[in-house]
A = this chain, B = another copy of it.
Amino acid sequence: MNNELKALVEALIFVSQEPLTPERLAAVLEGVPAEEIQAAVEALAAESEAEGRGVHIIRSGGGWLFATKPAHDREVRRLLQIERKNRLSSAGLETLAAIAYRQPVTQSEISAIRGVDSTGSLKTLLDKKLIKIVGRKKAPGNPLVYRTSDEFLLYLGLDSLDDLPSEAEIAKILEQEKAVEA
């Protein structure tokens, strides 16, 4: 393993202000073959999972980034003197899921899926930057169109929208629920 490349990649992931994409890495490390970069990142990520390490390199939001491990949440919060992070409300998560799977969507389409008005949840999600307005639909009233943001991927630890729970996973959950009923 190329130690020098590994060290360099670690430094770059550390200073990056957002998940460091393979494309950016390649742009900075011009001339280094993509497979070598890939191998270096993967070695780093694997090593960071070792015992005795409290910060690991994870893949999320389309790139690589540093994060603390879940086990240290309590102490981290004590140091930063902040409360436990709020989960999204059920309404917020439902709205987010509807957008994630049906994007690009309008407010009324989301409300139709949920059966309830979703304007309030949209505002919450916009504030949290989990969704964004991407334009207008060519339809009567030209409603605003929503999409999930890069923050959304990061928030749920997804690398891309392809990482959303698949039809098969969803079907499995529904099966389980029915099995419990029977």
Contacts and interface: CB of A to CB of B under 8 A. Distances in A.
Q: Which of A27, A29, A51, A53 has the largest number of chain B CB atoms within 10 A? A: A53
Given A11-B54, A123-B173, A24 B163 contact: no
Contact of A11 (B28, B68, B126, B157): B68
Main SS at interface, chain A: helix
Q: Which of A51, A71, A176 has the largest number of chain B CB atoms within 10 A? A: A176
A176 B119 contact: yes
A24 B79 contact: yes
Nearest to A72: B11
A68 B135 contact: no
A157 B137 CA distance: 11
Interface stretch (A2-10, A93-101, A108-116): A2-10
Interface residues of A, number: 65
A156 interface: yes
Nearest to A172: B119
Interface of A: 1, 3-4, 6-12, 14-18, 20, 24, 27-29, 51-55, 66, 68-69, 71-72, 75-76, 78-80, 82-83, 119-120, 122-124, 126-127, 133-136, 142, 144-145, 156-159, 163, 165, 169, 172-174, 176-177, 179-180
